[in-house]
C-alpha cells in the first residue's frame, strides 16, 4: 500500500534522528578521555614522616644503584648553609644520571639558591638572581628526564612554572655565574601553593598543591597533573592542568594540614607525597603517602 506524504515525512525525520544519534556515539567513542578520568592514583600505604628531617620534600635516586630515598626538612639544612641566611629548603629532585638538587630560599633579598651534589659526592651552589616580578620563594625543583632542564615554581596563585638549565648537569651552568631563567611553562589554569612537582614522563608532571581554598579545582589540597605541549628547554611551552584527586587529610588532631613534596619513582611506578599533620600531631602522625596508578 502506498505511504502517504505526511507518513513519509515522519519516517524521514525518525531516520535522520537515528543517524544523528549514531554519529554522536561514534564521535564520543573516538574522543580522547580527559586526564581526570584516564588517570587514577590509588593510595596503597604510608610511612611516618619525621617532622625535622622528612617534612619538606623527598626524591628517589637512581644513581648509584640501590641508593636510598632522600628527604629534606629543617633538620637537614647544614649549619654552614643556614648561617648564611639560606634557612628554608624545599622539595628536591635528582637527575637520572645521579645529580641531587635541593632548592633554598632566604627570608629576604633578590636571589634563590640550588645546592647540588654530584654523583661523586661533592657539593656546589648555584645562585639565581630573581627576574622582574619573580617571587622570592623556592619551594621545589624537578629535573627533566633528559637531565638538561630544571623546573621550579613560585608560591601563591600562579599561571606559570619557571625553567632553568639544570645546575651541574647542563654545560651552560657554573657555580661562579648567575643561574639564568631559560624559559617559562605557561599554564592554562591557575594553580595555588604548589609544594612539589616531579616528571612522570617526558612531558608530564605530577604536582602536590597545598591550596587551602579549593575554589580553583573544587577541592583543597589537590594532586595535579600538568601536560606540557613539548619537552622543556630554552623556548616557552604551554601546560594543561588537571586536578586528579584530593590528597589524604587524616590525623588524630583537627586543624590545617600542610601538603609538602612529591616524588615519582619511575623504577617502581610509585608516587609518594608528604602530608604534615596539624597541631601536636605534626610529631606523631605526619605521613608520606604512597600511590599507584589505576
User: Which of 71 and 7 is assigned the larger pLDDT?
Assistant: 71
Is the pLDDT at 10 greater than 60, yes or no?
Answer: no
User: Which of 28 and 132 is assigned the larger pLDDT?
Assistant: 132
pLDDT of residue 15: 37
Domain membership flag for residue 141: yes
Domain membership flag for residue 192: yes
pLDDT of 50-66, one tens digit each? Answer: 999 999 999 999 999 99
Domain membership flag for residue 249: yes
Is the Cα torsion angle 112, 82, 73, 99 positive or negative in sign?
positive
pLDDT of 231-272, one tens digit each? Answer: 999 999 999 999 999 999 999 999 999 999 999 999 999 999
Is the pLDDT at 29 greater than 50, yes or no?
Answer: no
Is the pLDDT at 30 greater than 80, yes or no?
Answer: no
SS3 per residue for 41-65: EEEEEEEECCCCCCCCEEECCCCCC
pLDDT of residue 11: 39
Domain membership flag for residue 139: yes
User: Which of 9 and 93 is assigned the larger pLDDT?
Assistant: 93
Is the pLDDT at 217 greater than 70, yes or no?
Answer: yes
Beta strands in 172-236 (DSSP E): 183-192, 194-201, 204-209, 222-228
Q: How many domains does the chain have?
A: 1
R_g over Cα of the chain: 24
- Average of pLDDT values for 21-29? 35
Domain with 161, as residue range(s), is: 40-293
Domain membership flag for residue 231: yes
User: What percentage of the chain has pLDDT greater than the value 90?
Assistant: 86
pLDDT of residue 34: 36
User: What percentage of the chain has pLDDT greater than the value 70?
Assistant: 87
Q: How confident is the model at residue 294 (pLDDT cuts 50, 70, 90)?
A: confident
pLDDT of residue 4: 45
The rounded Cα 94 to chain-centroid distance in angstroms is: 14
Is the pLDDT at 221 greater than 50, yes or no?
Answer: yes
pLDDT of 109-163, one tens digit each? Answer: 999 999 999 999 999 999 999 999 999 999 999 999 999 999 999 999 999 999 9
Domain membership flag for residue 14: no
pLDDT of residue 185: 98
Is the pLDDT at 44 greater than 60, yes or no?
Answer: yes
Indicate the SS3 state at residue 199: strand
Spatial distance between the Cα atoms of 70 and 89, rounded to a whole number of angstroms: 13
Domain membership flag for residue 200: yes
Q: What is the largest CA-CA distance in the chain?
A: 100
CATH code for the domain of 62: 2.130.10
pLDDT of 168-181, one tens digit each? Answer: 999 999 999 999 99
Q: How confident is the model at residue 36 (pLDDT cuts 50, 70, 90)?
A: very low
Count of CB atoms situated within 10 Å of the CB of 16: 10
pLDDT of residue 26: 34
Q: How confident is the model at residue 38 (pLDDT cuts 50, 70, 90)?
A: low
Amino acid at each position: 500500500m502506498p505511504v502517504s506524504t505526511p507518513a513519509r515525512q515522519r519516517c524521514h525525520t525518525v531516520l535522520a534522528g537515528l543517524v544523528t544519534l549514531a554519529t554522536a556515539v561514534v564521535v564520543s567513542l573516538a574522543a580522547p578521555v580527559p586526564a581526570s578520568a584516564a588517570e587514577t592514583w590509588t593510595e596503597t600505604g604510608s610511612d611516618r614522616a619525621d617532622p625535622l628531617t622528612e617534612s619538606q620534600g623527598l626524591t628517589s635516586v637512581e644513581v648509584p644503584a640501590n641508593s636510598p630515598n632522600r628527604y629534606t626538612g629543617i633538620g637537614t639544612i647544614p649549619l654552614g648553609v643556614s648561617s648564611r641566611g639560606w634557612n628554608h629548603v624545599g622539595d628536591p629532585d635528582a637527575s637520572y644520571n645521579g645529580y641531587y638538587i635541593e632548592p633554598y630560599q632566604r627570608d629576604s633579598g633578590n636571589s634563590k639558591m640550588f645546592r647540588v651534589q654530584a654523583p661523586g659526592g661533592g657539593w656546589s651552589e648555584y645562585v639565581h638572581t630573581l627576574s622582574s616580578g619573580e617571587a622570592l620563594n623556592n619551594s621545589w625543583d624537578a629535573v627533566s628526564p633528559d637531565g638538561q632542564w630544571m623546573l621550579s615554581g613560585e608560591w601563591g596563585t600562579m599561571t606559570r612554572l619557571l625553567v632553568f638549565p639544570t645546575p651541574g648537569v647542563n654545560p651552560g651552568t657554573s657555580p661562579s655565574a648567575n643561574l639564568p631563567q631559560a624559559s617559562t611553562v605557561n599554564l592554562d589554569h591557575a594553580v595555588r601553593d604548589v609544594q612539589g612537582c616531579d616528571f612522570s614522563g617526558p612531558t608530564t608532571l605530577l604536582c602536590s598543591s597545598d591550596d587551602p581554598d579549593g575554589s580553583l579545582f573544587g577541592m583543597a589540597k589537590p594532586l595535579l597533573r600538568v601536560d606540557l605541549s613539548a619537552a622543556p628547554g630554552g623556548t616557552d611551552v604551554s601546560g594543561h592542568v588537571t586536578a586528579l584527586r584530593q590528597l589524604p587529610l587524616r590525623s588524630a588532631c583537627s586543624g590545617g594540614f600542610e601538603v609538602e613534596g612529591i616524588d615519582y619513582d619511575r623504577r617502581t611506578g610509585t608516587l609518594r607525597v608528604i602530608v604534615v599533620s596539624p597541631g601536636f600531631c605534626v610529631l606523631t602522625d605526619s605521613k608520606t603517602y604512597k600511590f599507584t596508578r589505576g
